[in-house]
Amino acid sequence: MSVTTPVPAPVLRAAGDSALIVELGDGIAPDLNAAVHRLDRRIADAQLPGIVETVPTYRSILVQFDPAVTAAEPLGQALLGLATGLTQAVAEPQLRWIVPVCFGGAHGEDLDEVARRSGLGTEEVVRLHCTADYRVYMLGFSPGFAYLGGLPEVLHQPRRENPRMVTPAGSVMQGGAQAAISPIAMPSGWHLLGRTPARTFDLKREPPFLLAPGDRIRFTAISAAEYDRLEGMSGYLPDCETVTPSVTLMQGAAA
Amino acid sequence: MTTHLRVAAAGPSSTIQDRGRVGYQRYGVSVAGAADPLLHAVANALVGNRPGEGAVEFTLAGDSVTVEGGPVRIAVAADAALTVDGDPVPGWTSLRLTDGQTLRIGNLRSGMRGYWAVEGGFALQPVLGSVATHIRSRMGGLDGGVLKAGDRLPLALDQAADRGERCLDPSLLPARGGRLRVMLGPQQDYFTPAGIEAFLEEDYALSHEADRMGCRLDGPVIEHSRGFNITSDGIPLGAVQVPGTGRPIVLLADRQTTGGYPKIACVVGPDVAALAQMRPGERLRFAAVDAAEAGRIQARHRELVDGLPALLQSAGGFALYDSGRLLGFNLIGGAVTGWD
């Protein structure tokens, strides 16, 4: 039986005249972030009057509301109510995307350097990335930019001293304790491991965003030829499966 | 043929804005939208549009536009001189322009941003539910960028409706000063008592680093109590973030969705618009209000915006496309009195 780390009591923070922050803890950790996404789903399901949108992040949710419909005080009480008991057993289905990646070479210029610095072979680095169970902790920075938690600790490395002014769209990268898939060409100081032909952001597609906060990701290695074939397919989408995690119980929770 | 407005000359930073992109911050998409929603709503009300219709926000200097087709009903909400084909016309009123006529909007005499709206709005495809331009992500508006000479803006209405013109006495709009009301939080616990005191008791001035994303302020350093890095979280409109330098940055419509600097306070909505109208060098001071007072400020502001149509007056039934009559209308107290 696995044990879920209890989440501290939720804290409500004022965030101006039209928003509140519900904070479940501090730092970047899988259990804490999973609780954030459970709370975000509860808030959506509860359909509280006056909520305009929610922005789930690593350890908190920004809840924007319409002050013409609700005041902050009753909304805050309702949010705190929803935030209690988040560590109880859950078995909510999640989406897991199987994202193909062409690692190394021109597709991932920093793979060899990441391997050298970690003291591992490049094949081992690729194997670690393809067996890691990544989760979309949050999206931010730019449209569709997904921060992924779950990078194996042996691969944690500081970001580049000198950021690149342009990195290609679809770059699979790592920086610090996190990994990411870049939606569009952008500057970045993260290490480039490979590229995926899957576009995580495409305004011409409905829905334009492939990944949502809370989704899971498994990378799978492909050849350069397969990369070219998939990139040439119009409207290519990676495979996706629904996974239902086994129910985890809190230690000492009543059966 | 669809009626267009051709941009004969563009101001330095003119973009199409509405109320912004709602519901996509969770995907990293900035809200954008009018930096001064009140003046944006005034421009729309003058031409009879709903408050959130797409309109042009210009910065410091206005645009010149020429009608192709029409007639077109257009209104400018700004403290700026206007001409039609070289003849002065009044601001704060709707105007009916015919094929080939050119409206020229001059420099702002006060404020930072003005707005012009056309009856029916622009015929633009919304991106993620909004026509608001967000330049950094090249989204919305006309190809995600600023207006430039030669652009042709397609209009939703081929011909202006047959009705009289409407005007607004701008002195009816609330006076805006350098006092910005804030609610402390979400991370006021990242600052020392002396830091919070400096923030609330000292004068700050708008620096030259100010755009639609945010305004950096010059003034006393705000002291952190335990570093200046937080686990990145969501950023509400008007958030005052304090990076390692201790100098505050107020985040506006084009702000990033998430960030890792502690936020000492958030400016209340109507005062965010007032800040967006201030010019570099202007002085300001923050004043703390509680949630109840912020709610009352919001409610009064909402009544004002909802009541805008009732503040409008008939522009006297002048045939405003007759430039001679226009001139007369413009010179209230001067030529008009002379005719009496």
Dihedral over Cα of A49, A55, A56, A62: its sign: negative
Strands (E), A182-215: 186-188, 191-195
Q: Give me the interface pTM, i.e. the ipTM.
A: 0.90
Residue B180 has pLDDT above 80, yes or no: yes
Give the domain extent around B48.
Answer: 4-168+312-339
Residue B326 has pLDDT above 70, yes or no: no
As a whole number of angstroms, the distance between CA A102 and CA B118 comes to: 50
B94 domain residue, yes or no = yes
Which of the residue ranges A6-20, A108-122, B317-331 would you say has the lowest mean pLDDT? Answer: B317-331
B174 domain residue, yes or no = no
pLDDT given for residue B333 in this prediction: 30
Domains defined for chain A, CATH in brackets: 11-83 (3.30.1360.40), 94-243 (2.40.100.10)
CB contacts under 8 A, A 70-89 vs B, are: 71-73
More confident: A175 or B140: B140
| pLDDT tens track for B63-115 | 999 999 989 999 999 999 999 999 999 999 999 999 999 999 999 999 999 99
Contact between B268 and A17 using a beta-carbon 8 Å cutoff: yes
Q: Could you count the other beta carbons within 10 Å of the beta carbon of residue A41?
A: 16
pLDDT given for residue A184 in this prediction: 85
pLDDT given for residue A251 in this prediction: 38
H/E stretch holding B81 reads strand B80-84
Cβ neighbourhood burial of A126 (10 Å; 0-12, 13-18, 19+): buried
Find out whether A64 and A53 touch, Cβ atoms under 8 Å: yes
Considering the domain architecture, whether residues B209 and B76 belong to the same structural domain is answered as: no
B contacts of A185 (beta carbons < 8 Å): none
**Average pLDDT of chain B to the nearest whole number:** 91
H/E stretch holding A32 reads helix A30-46
Q: What are phi and psi of A86, to 5 degrees?
A: -70, -20
Considering the domain architecture, whether residues B149 and B201 belong to the same structural domain is answered as: no
Residue B73 β-bridge partners = B96
B292 domain residue, yes or no = yes
Find out whether B110 and B79 touch, Cβ atoms under 8 Å: yes
Considering the domain architecture, whether residues B132 and B260 belong to the same structural domain is answered as: no
Considering the domain architecture, whether residues B32 and B163 belong to the same structural domain is answered as: yes
pLDDT given for residue B92 in this prediction: 96
Question: CB-hemisphere CA count at 13 Å for A61?
Answer: 31
Average pLDDT over residues A47-69: 96
B256 domain residue, yes or no = yes
Residue A145 has pLDDT above 70, yes or no: yes
A contacts of B137 (beta carbons < 8 Å): 142-143
As a whole number of angstroms, the distance between CA A112 and CA A118 comes to: 10
H helices, E strands: number in chain A? 5, 14
Considering the domain architecture, whether residues B10 and B136 belong to the same structural domain is answered as: yes
Query: Cβ contacts of residue B211 below 8 Å, gap of 6+?
Result: B254
Considering the domain architecture, whether residues B317 and B214 belong to the same structural domain is answered as: no
pLDDT given for residue A85 in this prediction: 75
Average pLDDT over residues A88-106: 85
Considering the domain architecture, whether residues B251 and B163 belong to the same structural domain is answered as: no
Domain total for chain B? 2
Considering the domain architecture, whether residues B103 and B217 belong to the same structural domain is answered as: no
Considering the domain architecture, whether residues B89 and B237 belong to the same structural domain is answered as: no
B28 domain residue, yes or no = yes
Chain B residues with a Cβ under 8 Å from any Cβ in chain A: 22-29, 127-128, 136-137, 139, 183-187, 231-239, 256-258, 263, 266-269, 291, 294-295, 297-299, 302
H/E stretch holding B334 reads none
Where residue B229 sits, what CATH number does that domain have?
A: 2.40.100.10
pLDDT given for residue B70 in this prediction: 87
Considering the domain architecture, whether residues B123 and B24 belong to the same structural domain is answered as: yes
pLDDT level of residue B154 (50, 70, 90 thresholds): very high
Considering the domain architecture, whether residues B255 and B333 belong to the same structural domain is answered as: no
Average pLDDT over residues B207-222: 96
A contacts of B302 (beta carbons < 8 Å): 67-68
Considering the domain architecture, whether residues B133 and B109 belong to the same structural domain is answered as: yes
> Two tokens at A149?
């938690």
State which amino acid sits at residue B87. Answer: D
CA distance A232 to chain B (A): 25
Helix, strand, coil content of chain A in percent (nearest 5): 25, 30, 45
Dihedral over Cα of A189, A193, A195, A196: its sign: negative
Which residue among A64, A71, A143 sits closest to B137, beta carbon to beta carbon?
A143
The radius of gyration computed from the CA coordinates of chain A, to the nearest angstrom, equals 20
Query: Cβ contacts of residue B78 below 8 Å, gap of 6+?
Result: B39, B58, B62, B91, B105, B108, B111, B113, B114, B115, B116
> Two tokens at B184?
């402390």
pLDDT given for residue B229 in this prediction: 85
pLDDT given for residue B328 in this prediction: 38
Average pLDDT over residues B332-337: 29
Residue A208: closest C-alpha in chain B: B128
